[in-house]
Structure 1
Amino acid sequence: MSELHKFIFEGQPVRGMLVRLTDSWQEVLRRRAKAQDVFPAPVRALMGEMAAAASLMQANIKFNGALVLQMFGDGPVKVAVAEAQPDLAFRVTAKVVGDVTDDATLASMLNVHGKGRCAITLDPKDKQPGQQPYQGVVPLHGDLREPLHRLSEVLEHYMLQSEQLDTKLILAANDEVAAGLLIQRLPVEGSGNLGHARNQDEIGINESYNPIAHLAATLTRDELLTLDADTILRRLFWEE
């Protein structure tokens, strides 16, 4: 059964969420197998990570509508899309043109020539007349054009660019589970430009967020995929 756990750290400006997509993720793969449209393993893993990430980000913003995570590539994966709803329902798909090797990375699938992009769209459930969905777009590289090797790094960079908030994201997926852990520094209270400026001042140096993010980063892929949520949180944050 798919599950989402939200938690906070008492007395500290840090929040977290952990999602595990199980039955629903397996059903997606079963339908594709039945249609004889099975993606290569690295593409399946990417789609699972995108489903988990979209579910976390949708829940994180308390938004009544769909969050659509899209990857546009210049490699064999031309497009990959995950759409997440407030009730943990999701859809994923991809367009693959060309061969994807078993050891393919994010860069070799989507960013061969440095032109890959990631877009996040918020599509309200009850749109007002003339209202357009919000969309933010970032490249698949950092501010210094350094390559970003994981989807989690791309989305951490997106959150830093769009919200000025430090975020640690751990993602993993296999053919049984798509899972993710999100740790985020809460925004500094303030109005208008004052709050925005204070959030920028806290980037990378918040003494409450950094130790918790470092603990989260010790979570391994196998642990995220095989352990239940309570065990993961207890092992990581028992001192917090």
Structure 2
Amino acid sequence: MPDVMASAGAGAHGVTEDMLLPFQIESLGLRGRMVRLGAEVDAVLTRHDYPEPVARMLGEALALAALLAGALKYDGVFTLQIQSDGPISLLVADVTSDGHLRGYAQFDADRFAAAAAARAQSGAGIDRSVPGLLGAGYLAFTVDQGAHTDRYQGVVELTGATLSDCAHTYFRDSEQIETCLKTACERVALPEGGSIWRAAGLMVQRMPAEGGGGSQADRIWQSLTEDEAEDGWRRVVILTSSARDEEMLSPALPPPELLFRLFHEDGVRVFEPNSMTDRCRCSRERVSAVLAAQPRAELDDMKEPDGCVVVTCQFCNRAYRYDDADLDALAEETPRQ
């Protein structure tokens, strides 16, 4: 994979938006990913009438899913799912190995409004924390590579103030990989007026040196003393944490330039970016297959006042309509048992 050294003002192959950018801090044996989402995450979040804190949490979940998926080698779908007992009861964000994103949130509107009103009455600001919006629950990571392969799943309780905190807990307790994560999502004003949702994430991991010592990076990594490696990791964690949300989200600051600002003293190298695209996997064929498996009486009970069965995709909000003629056709196409 071609690589370029990050330098001030440099773009990554001319792409600065809706992409995942791998990088290495070679002198310290560290690898990382930065994701920057603009129009694609805005399309996902604006399809639904989410309150702003809900949209922000889902945007951060999409950025986190992109980061975690980008660190894996897989051919299929990586899914981040949160189930909890808070005002937001479900968050789902998934990323295919082709970089196709989708996500949705389920929330209790009445409960959310009551909590927001109570905080406003007390003079408190909007609660954006995991305990306040999600409550108690769990975060699950799933890699699905098809029907004839084993599904990988990791599960961790929701622990910490942010989604990044929860992911830290997973890597620390389940993978034993030292990981530093930071995500951001905000509605950003446009110069011509209006605003757009933007999301970003930054992840650095401390990986063990590879065996063999064949590459220059291996030789450098293996030459570090334990104290040098530990000091370097602590420095990178501090630098990663110092990245401000506005820097991570700014369209005027290309990701390679931000990485250069943060890590230039240790020699950061960026690689070819991977594009991220808002694309749902729903289709009329898939919906028809589900409906065809249902008894006709149940389908009749599902009819709207206009006499049609309407199935709406939770992810992209696309509605599929079936009138009596469509339902009859499904019944005729279904093999008799």
- Are residues 1:25 and 2:41 paired? yes
How far has the Cα of 1:225 moved from its partner? 1.1
User: Quick check: 2:93–2:104 contact (8 Å CA) kept in 1?
Assistant: yes
2:112 matched residue in structure 1: 99
* Aligned partner letter, 2:260: R
Alpha-carbon separation, structure 1, partners of 2:241 and 2:26: 20
Alpha-carbon separation, structure 2, partners of 1:30 and 1:109: 19
With over 3 angstroms needed to count, the CA separation of the structure-2 counterparts of 1:90 and 1:110, relative to structure 1, is same
Report the count of equivalent residues: 210
Alpha-carbon separation, structure 1, partners of 2:24 and 2:167: 21
For residues 107-146 of structure 1, the aligned pairs below 5 Å read: 107-111=131-135, 115-124=136-145, 126-128=146-148, 131-141=149-159
For residues 34-45 of structure 1, the aligned pairs below 5 Å read: 38-45=49-56
RMSD: 1.8
2:306 matched residue in structure 1: none
Match of 2:97, SS state, is coil
Alpha-carbon separation, structure 2, partners of 1:189 and 1:237: 22
Match of 1:11, SS state, is helix
Match of residue 166, structure 2, among 154, 163, 166: 154
* Aligned partner letter, 1:136: G
Match of 2:112, SS state, is coil
Q: TM-score, normalised by structure 1?
A: 0.81
1:234 matched residue in structure 2: 260
- Give structure 1 stretches of 5+ with no counterpart: 33-37, 142-147, 191-201
- Are residues 1:222 and 2:222 paired? no
User: Quick check: 2:45–2:59 contact (8 Å CA) kept in 1?
Assistant: no
Alpha-carbon separation, structure 1, partners of 2:184 and 2:98: 21
- Are residues 1:74 and 2:85 paired? yes
Match of 2:236, SS state, is helix
How far has the Cα of 1:84 moved from its partner? 1.1
Match of 2:28, SS state, is coil
Cα deviation code 1:88-137 (max 9, x no counterpart)? 211111110121537122111111xxx3111111111x442xx4422111
User: Quick check: 1:172–1:180 contact (8 Å CA) kept in 2?
Assistant: yes
Cα deviation code 1:54-93 (max 9, x no counterpart)? 0111010122221111111111111111011223211111
User: Quick check: 2:171–2:177 contact (8 Å CA) kept in 1?
Assistant: yes
Match of 2:208, SS state, is coil
Match of 1:17, SS state, is strand
1:207 matched residue in structure 2: 231
How far has the Cα of 1:45 moved from its partner? 0.7
Alpha-carbon separation, structure 1, partners of 2:91 and 2:162: 14
2:20 matched residue in structure 1: 4
Q: TM-score, normalised by structure 2?
A: 0.59
How far has the Cα of 1:188 moved from its partner? 4.8
2:29 matched residue in structure 1: 13
- Give structure 2 stretches of 5+ with no counterpart: 1-16, 117-124, 188-196, 212-225, 267-337
Alpha-carbon separation, structure 1, partners of 2:24 and 2:64: 19
User: Quick check: 1:2–1:88 contact (8 Å CA) kept in 2?
Assistant: no
Cα deviation code 1:25-48 (max 9, x no counterpart)? 11113322xxxxx11111111100
Alpha-carbon separation, structure 1, partners of 2:45 and 2:177: 34
Tell which has more relative contact order, 1 or 2 (C-alpha 8 A, sep 6+): 2
How far has the Cα of 1:206 moved from its partner? 3.0
* Percentage of identical aligned residues: 33
User: Quick check: 1:165–1:184 contact (8 Å CA) kept in 2?
Assistant: yes
User: Quick check: 2:25–2:263 contact (8 Å CA) kept in 1?
Assistant: no
